[in-house]
Copies of this chain bind each other. A is one copy, B any other.
Amino acid sequence: MKASVHNHDEALKDLRAKMPDDKLLCDLGDLFKVFGDTTRIKILYSLFEFELCVCAIAELLCMTQSAISHQLKVLKTAKLVKSRREGRTIVYSLADDHVRSIIGQGYEHLTEE
C-alpha cells in the first residue's frame, strides 16, 4: 500500500484524525449516488412544486410505470421523497428542502462561468 518514497507522515497523521469515519463517508457516497441518475433527477425536479402520483410522473417523463416505481422506491429509501395514499393512487412529494438545496448547488456549479 506504500505508494511512494517521499514522506508526508506528519501531514497525514493530522488528517487521519480529522477524517469522518468510514460509515459516514460511505453513507454520503450512497446518498449522492441516488442523485446520480438522470431519471431520478427528473423525478425530483418534477416534484419541486407539486406532489404527483406515479402514473403522472411516468407520463411526464415518457417512461414505464414500473421503471418510475422502482426509482421512487430508491428515492424513498434515501428519504428524499415521501408518499401518501389517496384512494387508489399514491401521491409522492419531496421529503424536505435538502433536495432542493443539493440540486440547487449542483445547478450553480454547472451554470457558473
A58, closest chain B residue (CB): B3
Query: Out of B8, B25, B60, B98, which one reaches A42, CB within 8 Å?
Result: B25
A60, closest chain B residue (CB): B12
A87, closest chain B residue (CB): B6
Task: Tell me the chain A residues, 58-103 only, with Cβ under 8 Å from chain B.
Answer: 58-60, 62-65, 68, 79, 89, 96, 98, 101-103
Q: How many copies does the complex hold?
A: 2
With contact pairs A16-B60, A35-B35, A56-B8 given, residues A65 and B3 touching in the complex (Cβ less than 8 Å): yes
A101, closest chain B residue (CB): B105
Question: B45 and A25: CB pair below 8 A?
Answer: yes
CB pairs A–B below 8 angstroms (7 shown): A8-B52, A8-B55, A11-B56, A19-B42, A25-B45, A30-B36, A32-B32
Knowing that A33-B33, A79-B109 are A-B contacts, what are 5 other residue pairs whose CB atoms are under 8 Å apart, sorted by A's residue number? Answer: A4-B56, A8-B55, A19-B42, A29-B37, A31-B106
